[in-house]
Amino acid sequence: MTSSDDRIVRFHDELTAWLDRQLDAQSEKLLWGHRDVARAVFNYLWYSHLQLREGYMHHGGKDYLDRITLNIPAPPDGHRAMIESDLAGHPWRGTLEAFHDHILVYADNPRHIRHLLPVMRFFKEREQPVVLLTRTEDLPDEVACEQIRPLYFTPMISQAVTTSGLAGISRELAAFTHTLLCYIQWMRPKAMICCDGCQTQYQLAAIYCRRLGIPAICCQLGWPGFIHAGFRQLPYSHFLTWGEAFSVLLGEASPLTGFHAIGRLEPVDSQGSHDAITFFMQAPVFVSSEEYHARFLKLVEATAQRYPSRRIIVRPHPEYDDTARTSAAAATHRNITVDTAPLTANTYRMTYIAVSMFSSCLVESAAFGCVPLMFNPTSGFEYPLLPEELKTRDEESFFDRLDDIMQHPGGRCAIGHIQYSGKECLARFAASIQSII
């Protein structure tokens, strides 16, 4: 008998297969003009249909998905002409053409901007013009200090968008698809650089760049642990990773992308107190659920009770707001603190044992001198970059391993997947960029 736990993992594969079948039958509707945007449309729809998991789990699995039909309306006659008309004569064209041959850094939020600041600084120091494309006005102070010019993304809502078939399933998707086409066509940057890589807007920009022969480069920001569909068949021409192990695993899922192991852009060091047990929270998606998320929170409180003199840190996931429950845990147990500081590096410096379900911290923290420890009850889930002795599947095995680590202090994790960081990484970045651009 298949357990419900196995189905958490299987759902993602079957959602991918279902969506492939749905889109294969409508491939002619996945063209924007004559440009194939199927990969980006798939990505957007895959994320937006993750909400089907509860129905899948409780109402028939694969049969449940097969009872759902996804219909993309056909574009009207003359739609391609509407697109080409905007490309040729839209009033924004002249403004965007002024950025020709710039390095286009696409970073849609403060976290991504901070991560790519070393990249922007690198090009500025070499007198290569840089423009930052973003939707956020919450810019880090360094952007102004480095005199990096921001270009605020403004959706184009023309007839090409409002009458399109894609607008029939998502007006946001249609607006991004058209706006980024026009931006890239007009700007003709020397290269496009982003980070993370699973975001639909970055993938759209990469698709348009590759079609024009412009390098589309993605820098690793984290590690998904579970390489789901958002990190498969990536459209970037190049992907710069933290190390060779990441290049190998990501490369197996994206054979058309060139992977280059350069290291972690931000510096790494093992300094700090390293006295806390830190729980890095994840959203209840992918290989987690509300049930498992609640168990993880109970594990935090049980650890605080078991080690009342030990500092316990809870670090919320930046994209999942669980303030009420984490604050309640901190209010109940005096040794629990909630850490929302912008830089994860500062958290690692306080951390002795880094606990998570599938976070990138399970490999990243080791570079800072922490001991990573996985707690993930999801049957069938594997985390290939972590040794078996640092993986636990239930509360009993978790505390057995935690107690063992605590009783033998002073040891540090020997995982060495991130070999370069900071200045060393930037030197390798320079060598890679020289071969790409």
Q: In the structure encoding, which two tokens stand for residue 336, read together?
A: 């629990």
**Distance between CA atoms of 302 and 296, rounded to whole angstroms?**
10
322 versus 79: the higher-pLDDT residue is 79
* SS3 call for 150: strand
Tokens of 78: 């003359």
> How confident is residue 1, by pLDDT bands cut at 50, 70 and 90?
very low
Degrees, nearest 5: CA angle 91-93-94: 95
Q: What is the pLDDT of residue 99?
A: 97
Q: Tell me which of 75-84, 255-264, 302-311, 404-413 is least confident.
A: 404-413
Q: Percentage of the chain with pLDDT > 70?
A: 98
Q: What is the pLDDT of residues 257-268, one digit of tens each?
A: 999 999 999 999
Q: Is the dihedral of CA 22, 108, 223, 436 positive or negative?
A: positive
- Facing residues of 260 across strands? 240
Q: List pLDDT tens digits, range 147-180.
A: 999 999 999 999 999 999 999 999 999 999 999 9
Average pLDDT over residues 196-215: 98
Query: How many Cα atoms sit within 13 Å of 213 on the Cβ side?
Result: 1
Residue 201: name the closest of 215, 181, 217, 220 by CA.
181
Closest CA to 321 of 346, 299, 302, 340: 340
pLDDT band at 416 (very low <50, low <70, confident <90, very high): confident
Give yes or no for a contact between 265 and 424, defined as CB atoms under 8 angstroms apart.
Answer: no
The model's pLDDT over 99-146, given as tens digits with 9 standing for 90+, comes to 999 999 999 999 999 999 999 999 999 999 999 999 999 999 999 988
Q: Give the pLDDT confidence of 35-82 residue by residue, as tens digits.
A: 999 999 999 999 999 999 999 999 888 999 999 999 999 999 999 999
Task: Render pLDDT for 384-401 as a digit per residue (tens, 0 to 9).
Answer: 999 999 999 999 999 999
CA distances from 49 to 20, 42, 221, 433 (A): 13, 10, 24, 36
With pLDDT > 90 as the criterion, what percentage of the chain qualifies? 91
Burial grade of 402 (CB within 10 A; 0-12, 13-18, 19 or more): buried
Confidence of residue 271 (pLDDT cuts 50, 70, 90): very high
**Residue-level pLDDT at 2:** 40
